[in-house]
Each structure stands twice: as structure tokens, then as C-alpha cells.
């Protein structure tokens, strides 16, 4: 029996918690810091992971067997390394890569160079620093448009600008280098070739040497209908996207997943955790757009409800360097999630409104909480993305409609959602 602590506070962590809590191996589950949806699994007094001494005391005192790290921040800041270096935590399994592995997400410049070193297909790119503005502007004369500009560091999915012209690129450079919109994350900028294709995300669970592929998903990053407006963390997702077939998945495995794990090993990184490969399917060819070193949000809200009660075994195995053999059970139904957001998201979400939503909807519908808070027996919206309304159905069209209906029943002042999630896949 296992005692499990999930770190994070989003819809991703709520979806993981719902799955892991159903495992016959789960003795105790905590989600920290969590949200209103995970309050049944709240800890009373778990310190923040940044206060490592106090946090690790708590982990030991509660006999935690497995820590699942949801978001990228603790990974990029080396929480896994700190756990490994602490002899008092010798029996603790931690799911997530160490700092060296997390660089795949923490620096786009590093991950581009990694892919080039290991022959992994990706868009061509060049990096410029703020001090190289003159050469960067010259370079903008020589490239074709659209051009993609990306902040090198972490920017919560918002540091990417697709520029239709040189003028737009110059404006974007001002945003990175004059207004410092992304702080240090934008001091280096990748100038990347635009790839024209369909996007999907492949999720892999690795134990350092071996891996298993989890269900594929497609997410919807732009805030507005028909993929308009600024990028967000994700407004909805579908799993599996019907355009992904066995042939394409085999190519992804062969050209991307295996060379990535082998490349990490060659460079001395034993990667234990989820690897999220953001892909562009150009014709039949996969290209990596980005790596993330964790599960996606809201993709987890369509991937995890399709996984079975054995996921805890798989995740504990991966964290210990010993994935079980075989493949995890996957529900053949489609899953669709529609994210309900606060007015003003992604720029300045308005929070603090009292909420209502459909309670206990059943085993083909889930309301996963994200930016929600519990105060005096009421639930309030407390972030930009508030709730992911997931529905499962054999027919994609029905899953799309059910998710949308569920989203429409989530009620608070200023709530909005995209009512076209999945429509492009129904043709």
C-alpha cells in the first residue's frame, strides 16, 4: 500500500488525484497546495516545497512513499535533486526528472541544441540575446514569414509569438527586450521556422531506460473561437485526436521518443517521469515543437480519465526505475474537456466570484477544479482557468457536446469558455 503526495494546484493534479485515489494500492493521498476540488485530500500543514527542510520533515513524518510533481517549477528548480541528495529520504520515490532532465523544458535554447545533437526532427532555429539586437534585426531581413519568436525560459505557455511580418517581429522583440514582459525568461529569444501542420501531444512515462506511451491528446491554446486571440495555457483538449494513427505513433516512437531517452542517457541523465512531446504533424512526419517535463494541463484532464486503476503502479514503478512490463489499460472512449475561464484571462483574470457547478456528474463526466478556492463553505474562482469540464463517449461528437453542456453549467460572474473545442475534428 502506498502513501502518495501530489504537488500542484491545477486541474491536472485534480485529474491525477481522482485516478490515483481509485487505485487499490492507494493507502493515503494528499494534494498540496491543491484547490477547492482536491480539498478532501488537503494536507493540514504541509510546508511549501521551497522550504525544503520543513517540507522534507513533513514528508518523512507522514511516511510518504511517492511524491508526484505536477508542475514544472519544482522540477526546474531542482526539487528532485534535493530529495535524492537527502539521505533521510532514501526510501522516497519521486516522480519527475532532476534539474538536468528538466532543462528540456526550462530552456528552449538548450532543448533545440539537444534535438540537433541527437538528430531529432524539429523546426530550424537560431537564438539571439538582447545584446545582439542589431544582428537580430538584420537576420529578420533574411528569413521567411511567418516566423516564430520564443522566449528561451519558462513563460507559462505565453512566451511564443507567431509573426506574420518583419514589423510584427520587431514589435515582439520590443516586448521581450524593451518591455521585459517575460523578465529573464525572454532575455534570449529563439527565431524559429514556422511549421505548417496539425498539432498533437504525445505523453510518455519513463523510468530512466524504458518508457510507455500514454494516450495522445490535442489541445487548444488560443483564447478565442476558431483559434483566435492570444495564447493561453490551454482552453480545452481532446483524446485521442482522430488523425493520429498507429503508423504515425510508430514513427514518433522511433524518431523521437527512443532517441530522446537514449540522448538523455548518453548525456548522463536518468529521466524518471512524464515527458510531454508537443508535435507538429507535417504530412506524415512528426516534428518536435517543444518538450515539457510533466503532464499537460488541460491534456491530463482527457488523458487520465481514460487510464485505469493501475496507473499508480505504473507511476510508482517509473519513479523507482522499474516500469512494469506490458502497457497500461486505456479506455477506448473519446474524452473531451472544455476549460471554463475567468473574465479577462489570459491577461488579467478577475477572481473572487462565488461559483456553482454540476456536482458528482457520474463516470462519464468530471468537473476538474483548477483556479478555485474554498472559503467559509463556499467555492470562489481564484485563477484564470477555473474548471475543466470533461466528458467521455464512444462517439467523438457526443463527447464534444457533453463537455460543452457541462461547461455551460459552470456558473460564476464573468465565466467564459470556447464553444468550439473538438469541432475541427468532427469533419
Residues that bind ligand AMP in the complex, under the rule CB under 6 A: 123, 148, 150, 157, 160, 192-195, 199, 221, 231, 278, 289-290
- Residue 34 is a binding residue for ligand GLY (CB under 6 A): no
Grid coordinates belonging to 208: 530512466
Residue 346: CB minimum distance to ligand GLY, A = 12
Q: Which of 101, 159, 233, 240 binds ligand GLY (CB under 6 A)?
A: 233
Q: How far apart are CA 112 and CA 107, in angstroms?
A: 9
In the complex, minimum distance from the CB of residue 13 to ligand AMP, in angstroms, rounded to a whole number: 21
Interface positions, 287-326, toward ligand GLY (CB under 6 A): 292, 296-297, 299
- 234 touches ligand GLY by CB under 6 A: yes
- Closer to ligand AMP by Cβ: residue 278 or 371: 278
Binding of ligand GLY by 422 (CB under 6 A): no
Q: Which does 233 bind (CB under 5 to 8 A by kind): ligand AMP, ligand GLY, none?
A: ligand GLY
Instruction: Choose the one of ligand GLY, ligand AMP, none that binds residue 148, judging by a C-beta under 5 to 8 angstroms depending on kind.
Output: ligand AMP
199 interacts with, out of ligand AMP, ligand GLY, none, CB within 5 to 8 A per kind = ligand AMP
Of 207 and 219, the one with the shorter C-beta distance to ligand GLY is 219
133 CB-near residues (< 8 Å, 6+ apart): 173, 177
Cβ nearer to ligand GLY, comparing 133 with 222: 222
- CB closer to ligand GLY, 317 vs 422: 422
* Whether the Cβ atoms of residue 278 and residue 290 lie closer than 8 Å to each other: yes
Q: How far is the C-alpha of 416 from the C-alpha of 256, rounded, in Å?
A: 37
In angstroms, how far is CA 129 from the centroid of its own chain?
27
Using rule CB under 6 A, residue 219 touches ligand GLY? yes
105 binds, among ligand GLY, ligand AMP, none (CB under 5 to 8 A by kind): none
Residue in the structure block whose three cell numbers are 506574420: 164
Q: Which is nearer to ligand GLY, 154 or 169 (CB)?
A: 154
d(CA 337, CA 406): 9
The answer to whether the Cα torsion of 69, 75, 78, 84 is positive or negative is positive
- Total residues belonging to the chain: 427
**Size, binding site for ligand GLY by CB under 6 A:** 8
- 98 lines the binding site for ligand GLY (CB under 6 A): no
Contacts of 393 (CB under 8 A, 6+ apart): 333, 334, 364, 399, 402
Give the Cα separation of 198 and 201 in Å (integer).
Answer: 10
Nearer to ligand AMP, 17 or 173 (CB): 173
Beta strands per DSSP E along 214-348: 218-219, 222-224, 228-231, 236-239, 272-282, 285-292, 334-341
Q: How many CB atoms lie within 10 A of CB 131?
A: 10
Interacting residues toward ligand GLY by CB under 6 A: 157, 219, 233-234, 292, 296-297, 299
Amino acid at each position: 500500500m502506498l502513501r502518495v503526495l501530489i504537488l500542484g494546484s491545477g486541474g491536472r493534479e485534480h485529474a491525477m488525484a481522482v485516478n490515483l485515489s481509485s487505485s487499490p494500492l492507494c493507502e493515503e493521498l494528499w494534494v498540496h497546495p491543491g484547490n477547492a476540488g482536491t480539498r478532501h485530500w488537503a494536507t493540514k500543514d504541509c510546508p511549501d516545497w521551497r522550504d525544503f527542510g520543513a517540507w522534507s520533515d513533513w514528508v518523512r513524518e507522514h511516511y510518504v512513499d511517492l511524491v508526484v510533481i505536477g508542475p514544472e517549477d519544482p522540477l526546474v528548480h531542482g526539487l528532485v535533486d534535493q530529495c535524492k541528495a537527502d539521505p533521510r529520504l532514501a526510501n522516497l520515490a519521486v516522480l519527475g526528472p532532476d534539474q538536468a532532465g528538466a532543462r528540456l523544458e526550462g530552456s528552449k535554447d538548450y532543448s533545440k541544441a539537444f534535438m540537433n545533437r541527437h538528430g531529432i526532427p524539429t523546426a530550424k532555429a537560431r537564438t539571439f540575446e538582447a545584446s545582439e539586437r542589431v544582428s537580430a534585426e538584420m537576420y529578420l531581413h533574411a528569413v521567411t514569414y511567418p516566423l516564430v519568436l520564443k522566449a528561451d525560459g519558462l513563460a507559462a505557455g505565453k512566451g511564443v509569438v507567431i509573426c506574420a511580418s518583419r514589423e510584427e517581429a520587431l514589435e515582439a522583440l520590443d516586448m521581450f527586450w524593451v518591455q521585459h514582459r517575460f523578465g529573464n525568461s525572454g532575455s534570449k529569444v529563439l527565431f524559429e521556422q514556422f511549421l505548417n501542420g496539425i498539432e498533437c501531444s504525445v505523453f510518455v512515462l519513463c523510468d530512466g531506460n524504458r518508457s510507455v506511451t500514454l494516450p495522445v491528446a490535442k489541445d487548444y491554446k488560443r483564447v478565442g473561437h476558431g483559434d483566435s486571440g492570444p495564447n493561453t495555457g490551454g482552453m480545452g483538449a481532446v483524446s485521442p485526436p482522430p488523425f493520429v494513427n498507429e503508423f504515425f505513433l510508430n514513427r514518433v516512437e522511433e524518431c523521437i521518443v527512443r532517441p530522446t531517452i537514449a540522448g538523455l542517457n548518453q548525456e548522463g541523465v536518468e529521466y524518471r517521469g512524464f515527458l510531454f512531446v508537443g508535435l507538429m504533424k507535417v504530412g506524415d512526419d512528426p516534428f518536435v515543437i517543444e518538450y515539457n517535463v510533466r503532464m499537460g494541463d488541460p491534456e491530463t484532464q482527457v488523458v487520465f480519465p481514460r487510464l485505469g486503476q493501475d496507473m499508480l503502479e505504473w507511476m510508482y514503478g517509473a519513479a523507482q526505475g522499474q516500469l512494469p512490463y506490458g502497457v497500461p489499460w486505456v479506455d477506448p472512449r473519446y474524452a473531451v474537456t472544455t476549460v471554463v475561464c475567468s473574465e479577462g484571462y489570459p491577461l488579467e483574470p478577475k477572481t473572487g466570484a462565488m461559483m456553482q457547478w454540476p456536482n458528482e456528474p457520474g463516470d462519464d463526466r468530471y468537473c476538474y477544479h483548477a483556479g478555485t478556492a474554498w472559503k467559509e463553505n463556499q467555492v470562489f474562482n481564484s485563477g484564470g482557468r477555473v474548471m475543466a469540464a470533461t466528458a467521455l463517449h464512444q462517439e467523438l461528437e457526443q463527447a464534444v457536446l457533453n463537455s460543452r453542456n457541462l461547461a455551460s453549467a459552470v456558473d460564476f460572474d464573468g465565466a467564459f469558455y470556447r464553444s468550439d473545442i473538438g469541432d475541427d475534428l468532427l469533419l
